Amino acid sequence: MPTMTHSAFAAMGRAGAVVGLASLMALHTAGAQGAAPRPASTTPPVLGAPKALTLPTMVERTLPNGLKLVIVQHRELPIVDAVLVVRTGAEADGAAKAGLATLTANMLDEGAGSRDALGLAEEIGYLAISLGTGAAFESSSISLHSTRATLDSAMQLMADVALRPTFPEKEFARLKSERLTTLLQEQDRGPALASRAFASLVFGEMHPYGRSGNGTKETAESITLDDVKQFWRSWYRPNNATLVMVGDLTVAQAEAIATRAFGAWERGTLPPAPVYASNRMAPRPTTIFIVDKPKAAQSSFRIGGIGVARSTPDYYPLMVLNTALGGSFTSRLNNTLREKKAFTYGAGSSFAMRREAGPFTASSEVVSAKTDSALIEFMNELKGVRNALPAAELAKTKRYLQLGYAEGFESTRDIASQVSALIPYNLPLTTLNTFNAGIGRVTAADVQRVATRYIDPTRLTIVIAGDRASIEPALKATNIAPVEIRDAQGRPVVRP
């Protein structure tokens, strides 16, 4: 059955910008063919002041078995979204079983309670609901979207998936085969090659952040159905979970429905929490690592290093820094590499803030012939952002973040996603109410301080997946850093 990963909630899409650009190109073409003359350029609209954002009240409860509840009344439509967040994910896989958390999550809806996979699909269709499972680094999740009228039945189905999965051997074999096929396909995808090598080189293969959530061919082949069952028995416990319910119901109704569905879930003794911060790699002097993809038309860039944890006190200055550098369509990286140089369709950056310090990454897919030139521009921008942001750029970036924040609370699903994102990091629910004020307090000095602290041009891991034969000589000629050849796992490759 199709699944929805937890990380999908947080993904930043640029589809709207791409569609908008396509529309503008179409209009330009029409004009060139004799349509009405193009109007004169006008001054771009000025961003207005952000309106006050009033979030719904969030109420916390705990069932006798330890299951935490977060209930949010949002009664505009007869709809409820629920997310069950288990506070363990791929971090608990272990190096030899990388991919176990995601495979476990994928197995949950392949048969549960008295229904097989087809029976679950039929019941989901009959109730007109959506149900998805997934896993990230620090959490696993089951998500439900239901009308209020069918909520009781939908929650019982959700409970079956969480508490009573049947783990059929046939479906396990199918999912494992699909996983191996996906891993094989990734070997021919530049972005996947670059991302895997980058993670391994920054954190090391023994660190969970140094591995893909899907694992490798070797680890996927080693995972057994007993491994999946044991992961589920160990971590899917009410005293390791939070149920978020958002929509058309009162606190009392939500608590009663949750009790009927999950009240019999037995709490358990959890294994020791994974400890891994000491396993990460020490930062190295800036080095260029080429992952060879012969005859590739594009080079996939991943540049960065170790960033920060979600609990960092520098969260708001880093949000402003990253948005200015590569977190929006008008950011410096995208403006330089796409708009000015036409090397790429897009370039960006991110701080993946996790339970421990995740990666800082600047990335792009660049036409192969401009690989060396693109690297020079990347380095210029990474050095330049360490200088103080001009007042106008700082104000624009802060306003962009503040005005866009409200979009994350438009629907019950949006609100459930925002609340769920706090749970793996034990952040208070009040965090959601402080975003705009926190961004508003950020100064140019704050941004420069975090830029100089977290972006060090002398200690960058530069991974470029592309056609080695055509890009290596030019990359060496830049004299930016030594060049090494690695495979997709970041392991050394003997030069021919």
Residue 276 in any domain: the answer is no
**Position 466 in a domain:** yes
Pair 105, 3: CB distance under 8 Å: yes
- Do 212 and 309 lie in a common domain? no
> What global pTM score does this model have?
0.89
Claim to verify: residue 245 and residue 328 sit in the same structural domain: no
Q: Let me know: does 138 contact 354? Beta carbons within 8 Å.
A: yes
Same domain, 329 and 468: yes
Does the pLDDT of residue 15 top 60, yes or no?
Answer: no
> Do residues 362 and 304 touch, judged by C-beta distance below 8 A?
yes
**Rounded to 5 degrees, what are φ and ψ at 65?**
-85, 5
Same domain (yes/no): 234, 374 = no
Consecutive H or E run containing 141: strand 140-147
Q: Is the dihedral of CA 107, 109, 114, 117 positive or negative?
A: negative
**CATH code for position 347:** 3.30.830.10
pLDDT, position 38? 52
Shared domain for 190 and 306, answered yes or no, is no
Say if 64 falls within a structural domain.
Answer: yes
162 band by pLDDT with thresholds 50, 70 and 90: very high
**Backbone Cα Rg of the chain:** 24
Instruction: Let me know whether 246 and 287 are in one domain.
Output: no
Could you give the number of structural domains in the chain? Answer: 2
Q: How confident is the model at residue 279 (pLDDT cuts 50, 70, 90)?
A: low
Share of the chain above pLDDT 70, in %: 90
Position 22 pLDDT exceeds 50:
no
Instruction: Note whether 217 and 289 are same-domain residues.
Output: no
Q: What is the DSSP string of 76-121?
A: SSSEEEEEEEES--GGGS-GGGTTHHHHHHHHTTSEETTEEHHHHH
Q: What is the DSSP letter of 298?
A: E
Owning domain of residue 316: 282-486
Q: Are 414 and 247 in contact (CB under 8 A)?
A: no
Q: Do 137 and 74 lie in a common domain?
A: yes
CA distances from 285 to 217, 288, 432 (A): 31, 10, 38
Does residue 4 lie in a domain region?
A: no
Cβ atoms within 10 Å of 482's Cβ, excluding its own: 11
What does the pLDDT average to over 459-471? 98
- The mean per-residue pLDDT over the stretch 350-355 comes to 97
Q: Between β-strands 79-86 and 68-73, what pairing exists: parallel, antiparallel or unpaired?
A: unpaired
328 with 454, same domain: the answer is yes
Sheet of 140-147: strand order equals 58-62, 68-73, 241-247, 79-86, 140-147, 130-135
Residue 27 lies in a domain: no
pLDDT at 40: 56
Which of 234, 262, 290 delimits the end of a domain? 262
Report pLDDT digits (tens) over 186-237.
999 999 999 999 999 999 988 999 999 999 999 999 999 999 999 999 999 9
Q: Is the pLDDT of residue 35 over 60?
A: no
Report whether pLDDT(398) > 70: yes
- Mean pLDDT estimate for the chain: 91
Same domain, residue pair 313 and 224: no
Nearest-CA neighbor of 380 among 323, 329, 332? 332
Q: Beta-carbon neighbour count of residue 334 at 10 Å?
A: 24
Structure-model confidence comparison of residues 105 and 281, the more confident one: 105
User: 21-26 long-range CB contacts below 8 Å, 24 or more apart?
Assistant: none
Q: Does residue 270 sit within a domain?
A: no
Residue that is last in its domain, among 262, 291, 317: 262
The answer on 292 and 253 residing in a single domain is no
- Residue 10 inside a domain? The answer is no
Query: Which tens digits make up the pLDDT trace of 72-104?
Result: 999 999 999 999 999 999 999 999 999 999 999
> What's residue 49's pLDDT?
75
Q: What is the pLDDT of residues 312-335, one digit of tens each?
A: 999 999 999 999 999 999 999 999
More confidently predicted of 12 and 222: 222
Are residues 288 and 244 part of one domain? Answer: no
Query: What's the CA gap between 486 and 475, in Å, rounded?
Result: 15
Contacts of 11 (CB under 8 A, 6+ apart): none
441 Ramachandran zone, left/alpha/beta (phi>0; psi -120 to 50): alpha
Work out the average pLDDT over 394-411.
96
**Last residue of some domain: 262, 297, 326?**
262
Is residue 30, in this structure, part of any structural domain at all? no
Q: What is the 8-class DSSP label of residue 388? A: P
| Digit-coded pLDDT (tens) for 38-59 | 555 566 677 777 777 888 899 9
